[in-house]
Amino acid sequence: MPIMAHCANSIGSHPDYALRAAPDYWRLVLKKYPSLRVNLGHFGGIWSFTTPCPGSIPTDTSKLPELWPYQIGVMVDTYENLYVDVGDFAGVLDRWDEKQTTALIFNNLKDLIKNHPKLKTRVMYGTDWALLDREPQNERYYQSMHDHFHKLFGATDDFLGKNAARFLGLYPPQQTRRRLETFYLNKNRPSPFLTAV
C-alpha cells in the first residue's frame, strides 16, 4: 500500500507545527517498518533547498529545515521503497527573480544526486495542482519541469513516469502489477494502461 505524506516545512496551522513533517519522524517509522512504501511529498521542501551541503547532516532539523532534502537523500540509500515528489515547485517557471534561486536549487540537487545516485529512480514529477493552479504562468509548469529535470538527469523517462510506476508497484515485475494483470486476464479484458509502463 503506497503512502504519500506531506514533507515540507509549510502549511502548519500553528507556529512550528509544520516541523512535524520532518524526515526524521519518517526515519523512525521506516526503521521499524523498512519495507514500507512511502512518498515524502515536496522532497522536504525542494523550493527552499538553497543551502549548500554542509558535509554532514545536522541533527537538529528544526534549525535547518531547508536541509530536509539532504536527509531524505541519505534515507533513500537505506530504504528501498522511499520515494519523493517535487509537487508545487513553482520556481521552475523562472518568473521574475526565481531564475537565480532555481539555478541554486538545481546545483544542490546535482550534488545530492551525485552522492546518492539511487535518487534518480526515486524522484517523481508532481504538481500539487490545488496550490499550483493559483500560480501565474502555470500552463508552462510541465514543460519547465521537463526541461529542468532533463538537464539534471539527462533523460526524463524515470522522472516523468517510471518512478511513479515503481512507487505504485506497477512496474514489471512488481507484485501489484502482477495482481492487476492476473485480474484482467481472469476477466478476459485488456489492460491498456499497463502497457504504457
What's the first-to-final CA gap in the chain, in angstroms?
19
Task: Band the pLDDT of 12: cuts 50, 70, 90.
Answer: confident
45 found inside a domain: yes
Report helix, strand or coil for 28: helix
196 found inside a domain: no
67 found inside a domain: yes
CB 159 within 8 A of CB 124: yes
For residue 101, what is the enclosing H or E element?
A: helix 98-115
Taking phi over 0 as left and psi of -120 to 50 as alpha, with beta for the rest, 180 belongs to alpha
Q: Which residue has the cell 494502461?
A: 193
44 found inside a domain: yes
47 found inside a domain: yes
pLDDT, tens digit, 9 for 90 and up, residues 24-70: 999 999 999 999 999 999 999 999 898 765 544 444 544 444 589 99
Domain count, the chain: 1
Domain around 62: 3-171
CA 13 to chain centre: 23
82 found inside a domain: yes
pLDDT, tens digit, 9 for 90 and up, residues 114-172: 999 999 999 999 999 998 999 999 999 999 999 999 999 999 999 999 999 999 999 98
195 found inside a domain: no
**CATH number for 139:** 3.20.20.140
| pLDDT given at position 52 | 66
CB 66 within 8 A of CB 50: yes
Query: DSSP letters along 131-181, please?
Result: HHTTSTTGGGHHHHHHHHHHHHHS--HIIIIIHHHHHHT-STT-HHHHHHH
87 pLDDT more than 80? yes
193 found inside a domain: no
| pLDDT given at position 61 | 43
Rounded average pLDDT over 64-90: 89
